[in-house]
Amino acid sequence: MMKSIIFGFLLVSAFIISSCKTATAEYPKANIHEVVNSSDVTLVDVRISEQYSEGTAKNAVNIPLADLQNNMEALKGKKVVVFCNKGIQADQAMEILKKNGIEAYDGTTWKNVKAIQDDKPKAQ
C-alpha cells in the first residue's frame, strides 16, 4: 500500500515537473553547413577574448559567454551560430539565446565552424 502511494506521488510529481517547462522559441532543424555558409548568418565565438584572438572562424565576432546576456539587442532578428572550444559554452549560449527568442544554431567548436567554411564549394 505504501509503495503504491509513493509510486503514485512520484508519477504525479514527474508529470507536473515535465509540464512546467519554459516555452522557448523553436526553429526548424537546419543543416549546419548551410547555416554557417549562408550570407545572413552571424557567427559568434563565445570564448574569452584571449582565446578568440588565438584563432577563430572567418568573420566571427567575439561575445564571451559572460557578456552574452548583455548583447541580446545586437543579436535580435539575426540568425546566429555559436561556438567555443569544446561545445560546452556553446550549449550554454544556445539556452540563453533561445530563451531570448534569438534564432540560434550550435556550431559546437570554432574548429568545426572553420572546417565547414573551408569545405564550402567554390563558385565556378
Q: For residue 86, what are the CA distances in angstroms to 1, 11, 46, 112?
A: 49, 36, 11, 10
How does pLDDT run across 50-76, given as a tens digit for each residue?
A: 999 999 999 999 999 999 999 999 999
How does pLDDT run across 4-24, given as a tens digit for each residue?
A: 666 555 545 554 544 434 334
Q: If you average pLDDT over residues 93-102, what whole number do you get?
A: 97
Is residue 17 domain-resident? no
Please indicate whether residue 90 or residue 12 has the higher confidence score (pLDDT).
90
114: region left, alpha or beta (phi > 0 left; psi from -120 to 50 alpha): alpha
In sign, the C-alpha dihedral spanning 65, 26, 43, 90 is: positive
**Phi, psi (rounded to 5 degrees) for 38:** -75, 150
> Number of folded domains in the chain?
1
Is residue 62 domain-resident? yes
Is residue 22 domain-resident? no
Is residue 4 domain-resident? no
For the chain, the residue count is 124
Is residue 55 domain-resident? yes
End-to-end CA distance of the chain: 75
Which strands make up the sheet holding 41-45, listed edge to edge? 61-62, 41-45, 79-84, 103-109
| Single pTM value for the model | 0.74
Looking up residue 82, the CATH number of its domain turns out to be 3.40.250.10
Cell of 76: 535580435
**69: domain range?**
29-118
